[in-house]
Chains A and B, each alone.
Chain A
Amino acid sequence: GAGVSQTPSNKVTEKGKYVELRCDPISGHTALYWYRQSLGQGPEFLIYFQGTGAADDSGLPNDRFFAVRPEGSVSTLKIQRTERGDSAVYLCASSPVGVPYYEQYFGPGTRLTVT
């Protein structure tokens, strides 16, 4: 079946611009996660959705970052006033239910470059 998909695969933007990154989870998965992977590092947690609500947004680095999941399926990560330090691969994952021992299924990521 179809896995987690993310669009675009690559995004280049200028410093100060606004960007949106999209995640389509596996159909029926209620839990959705966003992570950020900087060069040479492992993924870092950003935010977790259970259904439509953000159950844990403790990983968002500052108020320039925001994510939504209005219908409990597709999610959009929004970054305002981008900075060069935001350059990274943004990973989305989904899981059938929101329990910590369940496998998280990852998408291929969106590579964001801020120039």
Chain B
Amino acid sequence: AQSVTQLGSHVSVSEGALVLLRCNYSSSVPPYLFWYVQYPNQGLQLLLKYTSAATLVKGINGFEAEFKKSETSFHLTKPSAHMSDAAEYFCAVSDGNNRLAFGKGNQVVVIP
């Protein structure tokens, strides 16, 4: 069965600093990988997805992620954090079934 691991439930980053959220996946077949963001009292919103095309994927709000098969990773980055990036971020994997397996999430706090 597919799964993802996100370490560090809370991540603090200074405004203007690099945002790095780590995601490692386990899948028996080539995976589809997603990053979602959840703002308070709102639904999950897709940031970006990997579907076996380019390994470097660019998403909304300046985020990007790189698929590395050798490391089974799909880490999310943003060069410069903004106060509006404060939210919870979830990595998810689908191995071809129509269901997503989510990690536990990272709560990002941006320090002014």
Contact = CB atoms under 8 A, between A and B. Distances in A.
A binds B: yes
Interface of A: 3-4, 31, 33, 35, 40-45, 48, 50, 55-56, 59, 91, 93, 98-101, 103-109
Given A50-B98, A108-B41, 6 more contacts: A4-B43, A43-B44, A48-B98, A100-B94, A100-B98, A101-B94
B110 to A, nearest CB: 21
A56 B45 contact: no
Contact of B42 (A45, A50, A108): A108
A106 B104 CA distance: 17
B58 to A, nearest CB: 15
Interface of B: 6, 9, 32, 34, 36, 41-46, 49, 51, 90, 92, 94-105
Contacts of A98: 98
B104 to A, nearest CB: 5
Given A100-B32, A106-B44, A109-B43, A33 B99 contact: yes
A100 B97 contact: yes
Which DSSP category, helix, strand, loop or mixed, fits chain B's interface?
loop
Given A40-B9, A42-B90, A43-B90, A104 B43 contact: no
A3 B9 contact: no
Contacts of B34: 103
Contacts of A105: 43, 46
Contacts of B99: 33, 45, 48, 56, 59
Nearest to A48: B98
Contacts of B101: 45
By CB atoms of chain A within 10 A, which of B9, B32, B43, B92 has the most? B43
B100 A40 contact: no
B51 A45 contact: no
By CB atoms of chain B within 10 A, which of A45, A56, A108 has the most? A45
